[in-house]
Amino acid sequence: MLKKQVLSPGIKRFELDAAEIARKALPGQFVVLRVNEEGERIPLTVADTMPDKGILVIVFQEAGKSTKLLGSLNEGDSILDLIGPLGRHSHIEKFGTVVCIGGGVGTPEIFPVARALKQSDNKVISIIGFRSQDLILMADEMKSVSDELIVATDDGSNGNKGFVTDMLKKVIDRGEKIDHVFAVGPVIMMKMVSKTSEPYKIPTVVSLNPIMLDATGMCGVCRVDVGGESKLACVDGPEFDGHKVDFDGLMARLRTYLPEEKLSLEQYEAAKPKGGCCGGKGGCCA
Amino acid sequence: MREQDPQVRARNFEEVPYGYTPEEAVEEAKRCLKCKKPSCVQGCPVNIDIPGFVGQIALGNFWEAMKVMKTTNTLPAICGRVCPQESQCEGSCVLAKKMEPVAIGNLERYIADWEAQQNECVMCEMKPRTGKKVAVVGAGPAGLTVASDCAKMGHSVAMFEALHKPGGVLVYGIPEFRLPKAIVEREVNFVRSMGVDLQLNYVVGKLKTLDDLLQEFDAVFVGTGAGKPSFMGIPGENCLGVYSANEYLTRSNLMKAYLFPRYDTPIVRGKRVATIGGGNVAMDSARTALRLGAEKSILIYRRSREEMPARTAEVHHAEQEGIEFNLLTNPVRYIADEKGWVKAVECLRMELGEPDASGRRRPVPVKGSEFQIPVDTVVVAIGNSPNPLIAQTTPGLETAKHGNVVADPKTGRTSKQGVFAGGDIVTGAATVILAMGAGRLAANSIDEYVRTGQW
* A222 known ligand binder: yes
The alpha carbon of residue B439 is apart from the nearest alpha carbon of chain A, in Å, by 22
Q: Is the peptide bond before A85 cis (omega within 30 degrees of 0)?
A: yes
pLDDT digits (tens, 9 = 90+) for A17-67: 999 999 999 999 999 999 999 999 999 999 999 999 999 999 999 999 999
pLDDT for position B391: 83
For residue B263, which residues of chain A lie inside 8 Å, CB to CB? 38
Q: How far apart are CA B98 and CA B38, in angstroms?
A: 16
Query: Residue A263: how many CA atoms within 13 Å on its side-chain side?
Result: 12
pLDDT for position A286: 41
Q: How far apart are CA A93 and CA A91, in angstroms?
A: 7
Examine the pLDDT at A247 and tell me if it is beyond 80.
Answer: yes
Q: Verify whether the Cβ–Cβ distance A220 to B172 is below 8 Å.
A: no
Give the mean pLDDT of chain A: 92
The alpha carbon of residue B299 is apart from the nearest alpha carbon of chain A, in Å, by 20
Q: How far apart are CA A270 and CA A50, in angstroms?
A: 38
pLDDT for position B84: 85
pLDDT for position A8: 86
Residue A139, judged by CB atoms within 10 A of its CB (0-12, 13-18, 19+), counts as middle
pLDDT bin (cut points 50, 70, 90) of residue A273 is: low
CA-nearest of B265, B287, B303 to B176 is B287
Instruction: Name the residue facing A249 among B238, B263, B266 (closest C-beta).
Output: B238
Examine the pLDDT at A143 and tell me if it is beyond 90.
Answer: yes
Q: Is the peptide bond before B355 cis (omega within 30 degrees of 0)?
A: no
Which ranges in B321-410 belong to alpha helices (H)? 389-393
Neighbouring-strand partners of residue B160: B137, B199
Instruction: Name the residue facing B263 among A38, A84, A232 (closest C-beta).
Output: A38
pLDDT for position A119: 96
Phi, psi of A20 (to 5 degrees): -65, -40
The alpha carbon of residue A140 is apart from the nearest alpha carbon of chain B, in Å, by 31
Residue A184 · residue A46 · CB < 8 Å: no
CA-nearest of B406, B326, B429 to B372 is B326
Q: Verify whether the Cβ–Cβ distance A213 to B162 is below 8 Å.
A: no
pLDDT for position B72: 85
Instruction: Name the residue facing B228 among A85, A218, A252 (closest C-beta).
Output: A218
Neighbouring-strand partners of residue A102: A128, A184
Examine the pLDDT at A276 and tell me if it is beyond 80.
Answer: no
pLDDT for position A277: 53
pLDDT bin (cut points 50, 70, 90) of residue A204 is: very high
User: Which ipTM score applies to this complex?
Assistant: 0.91
Element (H, E) at B115: helix B104-117
Low-confidence stretches of chain B (pLDDT < 50) are none
For residue B243, which residues of chain A lie inside 8 Å, CB to CB? 221
Q: What is the DSSP string of B20-63?
A: --HHHHHHHHTT----SS-HHHHHSTT---HHHHHHHHHTT-HH
pLDDT for position B133: 97
For residue A38, which residues of chain B lie inside 8 Å, CB to CB? 256, 262-264
CA-nearest of A129, A110, A119 to A238 is A110
Size of interface A-B (CB pairs under 8 A): 110
Cα A67 to Cα A11, A36, A38, distances in angstroms:
10, 12, 14
pLDDT digits (tens, 9 = 90+) for B90-124: 999 999 888 899 999 999 999 999 998 887 888 88
Residues 6+ apart with CB under 8 A from B197: B156, B157, B158, B159
Examine the pLDDT at A98 and tell me if it is beyond 80.
Answer: yes
* A61 known ligand binder: yes
Q: Which of A81, A212, A218, A263 to mutate to test the interface with B (most CBs of B within 10 A)?
A: A218
Q: How far apart are CA B12 and CA B394, in angstroms?
A: 44
Element (H, E) at A61: strand A55-61
The alpha carbon of residue A148 is apart from the nearest alpha carbon of chain B, in Å, by 34
Q: Verify whether the Cβ–Cβ distance B228 to A230 is below 8 Å.
A: no
CA-nearest of A90, A103, A88 to A215 is A88
For residue B238, which residues of chain A lie inside 8 Å, CB to CB? 223, 225, 230, 249, 253
Q: How far apart are CA B192 and CA A136, in angstroms?
A: 50
Q: How far apart are CA B169 and CA A58, in angstroms?
A: 30
Q: How far apart are CA B285 and CA B270, in angstroms?
A: 12
Q: Is B209 within 8 Å of chain A by CB?
A: no
Q: How far apart are CA A119 and CA A28, in angstroms?
A: 15
Q: Which of B198, B248, B262, B265 to mutate to test the interface with A (most CBs of A within 10 A)?
A: B265
Residue B79, judged by CB atoms within 10 A of its CB (0-12, 13-18, 19+), counts as buried
For residue A84, which residues of chain B lie inside 8 Å, CB to CB? 203, 206-207
Q: Verify whether the Cβ–Cβ distance A216 to B264 is below 8 Å.
A: no
Chain B, window 248-287: residues with a beta carbon less than 8 angstroms from a chain A beta carbon: 250-251, 255-256, 260-266, 268
Q: Verify whether the Cβ–Cβ distance B247 to A257 is below 8 Å.
A: no
The alpha carbon of residue B432 is apart from the nearest alpha carbon of chain A, in Å, by 18
Give the mean pLDDT of chain B: 93
* A278 known ligand binder: no
* A219 known ligand binder: yes
Task: Determine the residue of chain A that is closest to B254 in CA distance.
Answer: A214
pTM more than 0.90: yes
